[in-house]
Amino acid sequence: MTAVQIIFIVVAAVTLGAAIMVVTTRKLLHAAIWLILTLFGVAIFYVLLNAGFLAVAQVVIYIGAIAILMIFAIMLTRQLAIDIGPQVNRGWPWALLISLLLFGSLIWLFSNWSGVSTELPTLSSRVDPLRELGVSLVSPNAYVIPFELVSVLLLAALIGSIIVAWPRKENED
């Protein structure tokens, strides 16, 4: 067993444990902090997979923006009753059963697929994945249209969330 494999197993165990804490812990604020730990673990996997840009973007976007936004929303909607009562709905055994079934069938699919034993190809030293990613996002032959669509989507989400969360006067209309 090599050092990289040991790192993988440790990071995977910590990440999955934190993910289980996210969905089971009682206090929502603690769940948000476990979520941050999970997102860090995923960022380490991006580093192991030679996707440096995604690792940095994971830390900046997910941890720096999304997780902090969630903590803000949790604090804005704080209510005593929410932390005391049961945190799961009545059908939670079904939810557990469905997730375990899905996990089992995914593992069964992988075990029947021959491509799962693909050897790790070496990245040729001539091409830089970061540069290639940047060029492909703005090149007309690659992904410029999805890239622009995503920017429009982000703008729409920005305006939409401002309008939705705008405090409304009661007797305005």
Partner 1 sequence: MIPLSWYLIFAAALFCIGLYGVLARKNAIAILMGIELMLNAVNINLVAFWRYRAPDMIAGQAWAVMVFAVAAAEVAVGLALFISIYRTRKTIAADEINLMKW
Residues 131-150 that bind partner 1 (CB under 8 A): 132-133, 136-137, 142-143, 146-147, 150
Of the residues 19, 37, 56, 59, which one makes contact with partner 1 according to CB under 8 A: 19
- Quote the least distance from Cβ 38 to partner 1, whole Å: 7
Decide if residue 10 touches partner 1 (CB under 8 A): no
Decide if residue 68 touches partner 1 (CB under 8 A): no
- How many CB atoms sit inside 10 A of residue 61's CB? 13
Smallest CA-to-CA distance from 46 within 30, 36, 35, 58 is with: 58
Region class of 140: left (phi > 0), else alpha (psi between -120 and 50), else beta? alpha
Decide if residue 80 touches partner 1 (CB under 8 A): no
Decide if residue 56 touches partner 1 (CB under 8 A): no
Decide if residue 75 touches partner 1 (CB under 8 A): no
Draw the binding track, 91-130, toward partner 1 (x: CB under 8 A; -: no contact).
xx-xxx-xxx-xx--xx--x----xxxxxxx-xx--x-x-
Q: Whole-angstrom Cα distance, residue 51 to residue 60?
A: 15
- How many CB atoms sit inside 10 A of residue 9's CB? 11
Of the residues 84, 145, 162, 173, which one makes contact with partner 1 according to CB under 8 A: 162
Count of residues near partner 1 by CB under 8 A: 91
Smallest CA-to-CA distance from 147 within 127, 133, 128, 162 is with: 133
Task: Confirm if 14 and 38 have CB atoms less than 8 A apart.
Answer: no
Q: Letter for the amino acid at 33?
A: I
- Quote the least distance from Cβ 124 to partner 1, whole Å: 8
